[in-house]
Amino acid sequence: MCSGNHPTDCATTSYVHSNMMGKASPWDRPGKGGIKVGNDVWIGRRTLILPGVNVGHGGVVGAQATVTKDVPPYAIVGGNPGKIIRLRFSEEIIGKMLVIRWWDWDDEKIKQEADFLTGPIDAFVARHFTPQTIRALHGTAREVEARKALA
Ligand SMILES: CC(C)(COP(=O)(O)OP(=O)(O)OC[C@H]1O[C@@H](n2cnc3c(N)ncnc32)[C@H](O)[C@@H]1OP(=O)(O)O)[C@@H](O)C(=O)NCCC(=O)NCCS
């Protein structure tokens, strides 16, 4: 992951004050912000994620990718600049996975569900995106997402 950018619109991109004069740099412009990485993201070998980029839950950054833009949930990106190669699942399944949010489970439940977590996605979603799932979200902001995913 790559930290902040140096200004590119001055005569130099070097921090002359701090590097050569022991003084604070006059550059205090807001950068593009930090990098946010969602849950269950797989980051391949030798990748570079630039400042301000958000990698959505379930995203995959392919080997050697340079990621310059946000990665949507469950998208696989590759290349330089990184482009979406494909989504891991259908939009419907992605919507349901973002409601299930298995990464919020406690360790015991993750262990109990290990075979489903690592098995076919349809069986996992059928098991966990149920009327009870939606009922449990009643009155929360996530209920809206759940109903959208169901539509
Ligand atoms: C990104 C990745 C997960 C995609 O795997 P996949 O879904 O099986 O993709 P495929 O091999 O079927 O390739 C699909 C397309 O994406 C391209 N592609 C695959 N990986 C790519 C990468 N890292 N960068 C750029 N393009 C890539 C392929 O060339 C192919 O292009 P085409 O459709 O034009 O022929 C995998 O290639 C990868 O990079 N894995 C990371 C490996 C790693 O770093 N492991 C470290 C140990 S954890």
pLDDT in tens, 92-148: 999 999 999 999 999 999 999 999 999 999 999 999 998 888 888 888 877 877 777
Give distance in angstroms: CA of 78 to centre of ligand 1.
7
Structurally, at CATH architecture level, domain 36-87 sits in 3 Solenoid (2.160)
Interatomic CA distance for residues 134 and 15, integer angstroms:
53
Q: At what angle do helices 121-128 and 91-100 cross, to 10 degrees?
A: 50
Q: Do 126 and 80 form a contact (C-beta atoms < 8 A)? A: no
Q: Where are the CATH 2.160.10.10 domain residues in the chain?
A: 36-87
**Which candidate in 6, 17, 57, 128 is catalytic?**
6
Mean pLDDT of the chain, nearest integer: 91
- Measured from the Cα of 42, ligand 1's closest atom is 48
Q: Rounded to 10 degrees, what is the CA torsion of 42, 141, 51, 88? A: 30
Which residue carries 């977590």 as its tokens? Answer: 117
